[in-house]
Each structure stands twice: as structure tokens, then as C-alpha cells.
């Protein structure tokens, strides 16, 4: 009799998850305003040349299927995939379609279980928030941080995520899990999930809907700053060159 389907299935051709420890970082883009999180994750994947480590159970997601975007691996892309570089201890769990409404609670629980069982040392959520909802008190920056329910400045300060607390706190005096982050999708559920190990924090960026490629570059640069990743510019996925936001107008139509 076949057992339950695992939440994460490692690729036979991938590098696996060797020796994950306290210095390892899982970057998890949350589907949110402007899709800036997913776009910045793609910049990280292609610039750092991360390899596909495995795929997640697609049961929880709106179905989606496509070709791998300019990567060497043969095959197709599915709703949620794990990319990584074992030598750099950096992993990105890219999510390409939203979680179905009836599966949100179960998905978050399965995701938390996978993170703990895989022994990731730190988790960084990437979150876009609706720029039009920014308050007067939030006009000083487009970048904010939020800590998960059981993560404190004390237990995150000595981790690779330590410098994120130099950014303003999104919620001010309100606990992050109780604060409403407009347009942030599952971010509140993820931040509310219990557990202090591994430490978890969110990088929140205010964005407006539209062409969010510049916002994605800015978010990726902030991730690199927080994690002290050195890059010589950013490599965009090949698909971005083929009308990601629609085919440009033929200017000859207008004289």
C-alpha cells in the first residue's frame, strides 16, 4: 500500500540538502502585492545559479505547469519548487501559484513541518504590501521587517538574519502576527505559526501594482544586503525578455 505523498520530494539530479545547520537560510517568497516576492526570488535563483533541489506537493495550489526558465535541468516547473546552493547554504522555495482557499491552514502546517524536519537554520519570508495603504508613520521607508510569533530580536541577532532588525518594524508596537499587512497573502498565517526554531522573519516592501521588475531588483538587493551576499549585478530570467507584462505596442500605429 502506497504511503502518504511527501510534502517535499527531492530531485534525483539535484544537490540534495546536505549538512543543513544554523548558518543555512531558506528564502520563502509569499505570493503578495505585485508578485514582487516571486520576481525577486527568480533574480536570486538565476544570479546565484541555484539548482533545483526538489518539488513540493502540488495538491494545495492552483494548478500550473510550464517549462523551466532558462535552467539547465530538463523538465517542467510546478507550483512550488526548492532551489539551492549547498556550498553557500542558501535555498529559495519558489511559489508560482496561490494556495487554494480550503487548503491554507493545512498548507501552512505542512510547510512548517517540512522546514523543521529539514533542519533549515533560518527562514526569511519575502512579502509585498499594497503601497496605497501605507500610513503616515510608514512614509520614512518602503522596507520594513516583521518577526514571527516566537522569534525575538535576542534569538535572531546572532543569525544570518540579524541585520534585518535594523529596518523599521512593520507593526510598530503591535505584534507582527496580529498586524494586518495589506496585500500580503499568507504572510500573517506564516508569521503566526508557533515555534522559535528556526528563527523566522519577513522582509516587507511596499509596492504598487504594475511593472514590478524595478521593485524586484530593489527587493533582491535588500535581501543581498541583509544576508551579506556579494553580486556583480542581477541576472534576469530569459522569459523576462519576452513580454512578461504583455507585448509592447507598435509605435508605428500612432504615426
Average pLDDT over residues 73-94: 87
Average pLDDT over residues 163-192: 81
Is 201 inside a domain boundary?
Answer: yes
Is 15 inside a domain boundary?
Answer: no
Distance CA 87, CA 120 (A): 14
Is 12 inside a domain boundary?
Answer: no
Percent of the residues in the chain that have a pLDDT greater than 70, as a whole number: 87
Is 7 inside a domain boundary?
Answer: no
- Domain of 173: which CATH number? 3.40.50.10900
Is 6 inside a domain boundary?
Answer: no
pTM of the model: 0.90
**Model confidence over 216-243: pLDDT tens digits?**
999 999 999 999 999 989 999 988 887 6
Q: Which pLDDT belongs to residue 21?
A: 82
Is 223 inside a domain boundary?
Answer: yes
Distance CA 155, CA 159 (A): 8
**Domain encompassing residue 155:** 20-254
Q: Which pLDDT belongs to residue 1?
A: 46
Percent of the residues in the chain that have a pLDDT greater than 90, as a whole number: 58
Distance CA 125, CA 37 (A): 9
Q: Which pLDDT belongs to residue 171?
A: 72
Hey, what's the torsion of the CAs at 106, 191, 230, 219, to 10 degrees? 90
Q: Which pLDDT belongs to residue 254?
A: 65
Distance CA 165, CA 172 (A): 12
Among the residue ranges 82-86, 159-163, 244-248, the one predicted with the least confidence is 244-248
Is 105 inside a domain boundary?
Answer: yes
Domain count along the chain: 1
Among the residue ranges 77-81, 195-199, 212-216, the one predicted with the least confidence is 195-199
| Average of per-residue pLDDT values in the chain | 87
pLDDT surpassing 50 at residue 110: yes
Q: Which pLDDT belongs to residue 172?
A: 56
Is 53 inside a domain boundary?
Answer: yes
Q: Which pLDDT belongs to residue 71?
A: 56
pLDDT surpassing 50 at residue 26: yes
Q: Which pLDDT belongs to residue 244?
A: 64
Average pLDDT over residues 87-91: 89
Amino acid at each position: 500500500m502506497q504511503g502518504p505523498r511527501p510534502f517535499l520530494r527531492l530531485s534525483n539530479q539535484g544537490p540534495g540538502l546536505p549538512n543543513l545547520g544554523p548558518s543555512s537560510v531558506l528564502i520563502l517568497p509569499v505570493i503578495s502585492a505585485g508578485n514582487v516576492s516571486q520576481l525577486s526570488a527568480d533574480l536570486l535563483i538565476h544570479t546565484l545559479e541555484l539548482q533545483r533541489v526538489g518539488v513540493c506537493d502540488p495538491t494545495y495550489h492552483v494548478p500550473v505547469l510550464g517549462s523551466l526558465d532558462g535552467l539547465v535541468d530538463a523538465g517542467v516547473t510546478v507550483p512550488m519548487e526548492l532551489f539551492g546552493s549547498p556550498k553557500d547554504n542558501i535555498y529559495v522555495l519558489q511559489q508560482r501559484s496561490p494556495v487554494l482557499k480550503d487548503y491554507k491552514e493545512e498548507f501552512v502546517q505542512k510547510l512548517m513541518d517540512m522546514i523543521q524536519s529539514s533542519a533549515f537554520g533560518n527562514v526569511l519570508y519575502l512579502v509585498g504590501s499594497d503601497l496605497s495603504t501605507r500610513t503616515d508613520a510608514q512614509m520614512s521607508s518602503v522596507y520594513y521587517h516583521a518577526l514571527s510569533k516566537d522569534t525575538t530580536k535576542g534569538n535572531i541577532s546572532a543569525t544570518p538574519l540579524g541585520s534585518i532588525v535594523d529596518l523599521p518594524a512593520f507593526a510598530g508596537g503591535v505584534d507582527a502576527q496580529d498586524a494586518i499587512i495589506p496585500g500580503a497573502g499568507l504572510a500573517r498565517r506564516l508569521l503566526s505559526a508557533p515555534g522559535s526554531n528556526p528563527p523566522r522573519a519577513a522582509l516587507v516592501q511596499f509596492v504598487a501594482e504594475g511593472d514590478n521588475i524595478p521593485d524586484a531588483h530593489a527587493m533582491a538587493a535588500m535581501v543581498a544586503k541583509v544576508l551579506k551576499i556579494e553580486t556583480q549585478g542581477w541576472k534576469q530570467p530569459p522569459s523576462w525578455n519576452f513580454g512578461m507584462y504583455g507585448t509592447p505596442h507598435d509605435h508605428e500605429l500612432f504615426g
